[in-house]
Amino acid sequence: MFTTKFGNGTSGDFDELGSLAQGLEGFTADLIIEGQAYGCFYRSPHAHAHILNLDVSEARALDGVIDIITSREVMEADLGLIPPLAIFQSSDGRPMFQAGMPVLANDTVRYQGEPIALIIAKKDAIAQRATSLIRADFELMQAHTDPVCALKSDGIPIHSDCANNLVLDWIDGDQSCTDVVDGSPIVVAVELKDPPVAA
């Protein structure tokens, strides 16, 4: 099993926060190097949609834009997909479903704000301006805002090869304790939502 420092009930390493708050260290955005370029993402305004058309020609023609990278360039460079941080087995022994995350969305966006294109420009303001010149047509699809609803049989699959939207069915704990609790005359239960902490 994969072990990581960042998990439920485990604090991360944030030792630099005090120095940053006191101005003793600088943020990445504070670095200025002669001749540096700036990047800005054009992101999906929709939570779930097919990308029908993406036109970056006007943005590319803007003075000061160095390049615009889309999924086409990513695929040509054979960058592949970003793999999951950790891989687990389901309670039945099957490996979890893993689709991998695209560097830039190709034909489908699966969450609002998903990066579709990266604009590289000589100035930050130019890169941001170029995002407003990108034109995209979308075919909207049903979006899921509740993971429980996404698991229902009539839910639209987020990934076509994961029909029921179930990535992992995982059981953790001591079964003997669970049996004792289940046999108790009174059981108080609570359902907790665990926000995503890794992709």
Residue ranges of domains in the chain, CATH in brackets: 36-143 (3.90.1170.50)
pLDDT tens-digit map of 58-76? 999 999 999 999 999 999 9
What pTM did the predictor assign?
0.77
**Under 8 Å between Cβ of 64 and 122:** yes
Percent of the chain with pLDDT over 70: 90
Residue whose entry in the numeric block shows the structure tokens 């120095």: 19
Q: How confident is the model at residue 1 (pLDDT cuts 50, 70, 90)?
A: very low
Phi/psi of residue 8, each to 5°?
-60, 130
Of 35, 101, 42, 36, nearest to 68 by C-alpha is: 42
Percent of the chain with pLDDT over 90: 46
> Which residues on adjacent β-strands are paired with residue 40?
119
Q: Check residue 2 and give its pLDDT.
A: 47
> Which residues on adjacent β-strands are paired with residue 117?
42
Q: What is the pLDDT averaged over residues 88-96?
A: 89
pLDDT tens-digit map of 103-140? 999 999 999 999 999 999 999 999 999 999 999 999 99
Of 77, 83, 138, 86, nearest to 112 by C-alpha is: 138
* Strand arrangement, sheet containing 108-109: 108-109, 49-55, 135-140
Looking at per-residue pLDDT, the higher value among 189 and 12 belongs to 189
User: What is the distance between the alpha carbons of residues 46 and 69, in angstroms, rounded to a whole number?
Assistant: 20
**Under 8 Å between Cβ of 99 and 105:** no
CA geometry: angle at 33 spanning 14 and 123, to 5°?
A: 100
